[in-house]
């Protein structure tokens, strides 16, 4: 690789770590960034001025221990009628999330041993892979965090999930037991199924 331009991904993003791994110096990177008017969007993450910013990918880079969840996962899985107003991520209890909260990101916490339950990799519209919770975990999170949601959004998500052909009720109940919401979920399912 001869030029820093070759490291810029197809969405117009460049990461400091990728540039340094290719043997370029920070001085060369900063010269490139200044010359090409790239914008710093987070520590070590720069985007081209004409790029569509992949906010979910940037969030996953900023918080590699986190998993996109709640509003973000509901929307991705077709369980929400509108795109979320704020980015939403789940981290393990004790993770330092102050900078994320300061930047307006809604942060939920779980015990460290539950952070990976239901975690899958999904593709963003720009083609990046990000961690997100599957539908069943998302429904459990919805039930656990009911007070965070408007009643019509809550009802839409649960009713839409029940109507979907690819739902996995066994997995849903397995997750529900891990989060101690199995009784609540059973009540909702009995009414809606």
Q: Which pLDDT value is given to residue 91? A: 96
Question: Average model confidence (pLDDT) for the chain?
Answer: 92
pLDDT, position 193 = 65
pLDDT tens readout for residues 40-85: 988 899 999 988 888 999 999 889 999 999 999 999 999 999 999 8
Judge whether residue 27 has pLDDT over 90. yes
Q: Decide if pLDDT at 1 tops 60.
A: no
CA distance 98 to 21: 29
The model's confidence at residue 94, banded by pLDDT at 50, 70 and 90, is very high
Give 6 or 177, the one with higher predicted confidence. 177
Residue ranges per structural domain of the chain: 4-53, 56-192
pLDDT at 153: 92
């Amino acid at each position: 690789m001869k030029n820093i331009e070759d490291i810029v991904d197809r969405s117009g993003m460049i990461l400091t770590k990728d540039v340094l791994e290719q043997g370029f110096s920070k001085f060369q990177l900063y010269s490139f960034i200044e010359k090409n008017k790239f914008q710093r969007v987070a520590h070590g993450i720069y985007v081209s001025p004409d790029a569509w910013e992949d906010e979910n990918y940037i969030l996953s880079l900023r918080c590699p221990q986190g998993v996109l969840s709640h509003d973000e996962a509901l929307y991705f899985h077709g369980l929400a009628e509108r795109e979320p107003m704020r980015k939403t991520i789940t981290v393990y209890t004790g993770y330092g999330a102050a900078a994320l909260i300061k930047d307006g990101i809604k942060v939920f916490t779980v015990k460290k041993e539950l952070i990976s339950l239901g975690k899958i990799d999904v593709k963003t519209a720009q083609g990046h892979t990000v961690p997100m919770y599957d539908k069943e975990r998302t429904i459990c999170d919805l039930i656990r965090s009911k007070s965070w949601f408007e009643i019509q959004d809550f009802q839409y998500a649960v009713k839409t999930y029940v109507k979907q052909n690819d739902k996995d009720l066994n997995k849903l109940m397995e997750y529900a037991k891990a989060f101690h919401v199995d009784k609540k979920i059973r009540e909702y399912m009995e009414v809606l199924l």
